[in-house]
Amino acid sequence: MGRVLIIGAGGVGKVVAHKCAQRPEVFEDICLASRTVAKCDAIAAELDRPIRTERVDADRTEEVVALIKSYRPDLVLHVALPYQDLTIMDACLETGVDYLDTANYEPRDEAKFSYTWQWDYHERFKAAGIMALLGSGFDPGVTNVFCAHAAKEHFDQIETIDIIDCNAGDHGLPFATNFNPEINIREVTAMGRHYEGGQWCETEPLSVHKTFDFPDGIGPREIYLMFHEEMESMARHLPGVKRMRFWMTFSQQYLTHLHVLENVGMTRIDPVMYEGREVIPLQFLKAVLPDPGSLGERTTGRTCIGCLIHGIKDGQPKTYYVYNICNHQDCYKEVGSQGVSYTTGVPAAIGAMLMLRGDWRGEGVYNMEQFDPAPFMALLPEMGLPWVETFPDGLTV
Ligand code: NDP
């Protein structure tokens, strides 16, 4: 059905490569390209079918253009870092190829999370007759689809959305992040922000927290209010929602380490001079922290990510909770990765399938909740991420 160029051979790229390789009827030909080609080759060697591998510096649009011209993909599936979103979108525009990613663009020198830069490409993508699908991971990604599914199937009007992300896994190390450490720490040290009454309300980083009782035996965990990008797009695309919040679990051990690192300046993203050269402390920290891609073998436990939604159906108040539970060790057995890479890589492959099959089609730049959720919801369990829906009257955060 199509040729896909995957850019990025990290934790998520590995899962995407495995999942695309499992579906040859959709992904007829695969090229995996990244900054370090040896990482692409190592992933290629794990697969049951041959794929092409290439080196590319995706910060350089001209290198991505040259690779697209030589490989001629139908779709570029970008799972490198958010810093490359715009250079890769530029390359797609220049070559007339569709684009998909899992995280919104961030400028390197400011931890600012917003879709505005990518939404600005809408008219140009439309004029070129190509499509960009933004945020096809789990959160953002599946969480947007869960909300679109709730709006379509269960509510006349959604009033509040709480997106709740729990990683109840344990890697046994004192401190490690479960996806790219630089991106992860920029995200969790940013100001908290939620949407209420048509406005954004800011709170100090990780200052608001509550206890939430997770299903399926995971039990009570402390959840922390954070900003997350899917709220920005859903505030625009799901009219009438009064409040939207995003919560994530952190262990005390993780928070203690994070506070120390912040207090000593190791999470700074501005350059400091060290022995005559500029060093960005957070980038140096990334170099000494465990590679999230290496955590798979040692991570046990489960993730539980879902949306708790309140609203009105047939004039009556209604509560709806939809979630996925993913077992880290099952992911490792299947593709050699931990659950956080898996829960991101599988939806990226599903988004790509829907684009290549033509089920999700548009000209311009789109977020996940703008399409019919049905084919995505149907593919989730088939591709390894089953979901559960409940109607727990009175359940709140
Ligand atoms: P990793 O750091 O493990 O992998 C990133 C990969 O991108 C590495 O292989 C790296 O190459 C490559 N890369 C970095 N810069 C360039 C460049 N300039 N050109 C080409 N390749 C480059 O990150 P993850 O796999 O954990 O995360 C990947 C993406 O997924 C991130 O954008 C992250 O924000 C997103 N994500 C989204 C989630 C969601 O639910 N929506 C959840 C988790 C992650 P090298 O190996 O040489 O460094």
Closest ligand 1 atom to 142 CA = 40
Closest CA to 113 of 182, 12, 183, 8: 183
Query: In the chain, helix, strand, coil percent, each to 5?
Result: 40, 30, 30
pLDDT of amino acid 112: 84
How far does the centroid of ligand 1 lie from the alpha carbon of residue 12, in Å? 7
Closest atom of ligand 1 relative to the 140 alpha carbon: 41
Tokens of 22: 């499992």
Protein residues with CB under 6 Å of any ligand 1 atom: 7-13, 34-36, 39, 56-59, 79-82, 84, 102-103, 135, 137-141, 179-180, 183, 292-293, 340-341, 344
Q: Which of 146, 115, 156, 150 is nearest to 366 (CA)?
A: 115
Pocket test for ligand 1, best of 5, 6, 7, 12 (most atoms within 8 A of CB): 12
Where are the chain's structural domains?
A: 2-134, 142-337+384-390
- pTM score above 0.85: yes
Count CB neighbours of 347 within 10 A.
Answer: 31
Q: Is the domain defined by 2-134 classed in CATH 3.40.630.30? A: no
Q: Which CATH class is domain 142-337+384-390?
A: alpha beta
- Distance spanning both ends of the chain, measured CA to CA: 44
DSSP H helices, the chain, are 11-21, 37-46, 61-71, 85-95, 116-119, 122-128, 142-153, 181-188, 230-237, 252-263, 281-288, 328-335, 339-357, 374-383
SS3 of residue 288 by DSSP:
helix
- C-beta of residue 219 within 8 angstroms of C-beta of residue 226: no
Residue 175 three-state SS: coil
3-state secondary structure (DSSP) of residue 280:
coil
pLDDT along the chain (397 residues), means of 10: 96 97 98 98 98 98 98 98 97 98 93 93 98 98 98 98 96 92 91 96 96 97 97 97 97 93 95 96 95 91 98 98 98 96 98 98 98 98 98 95
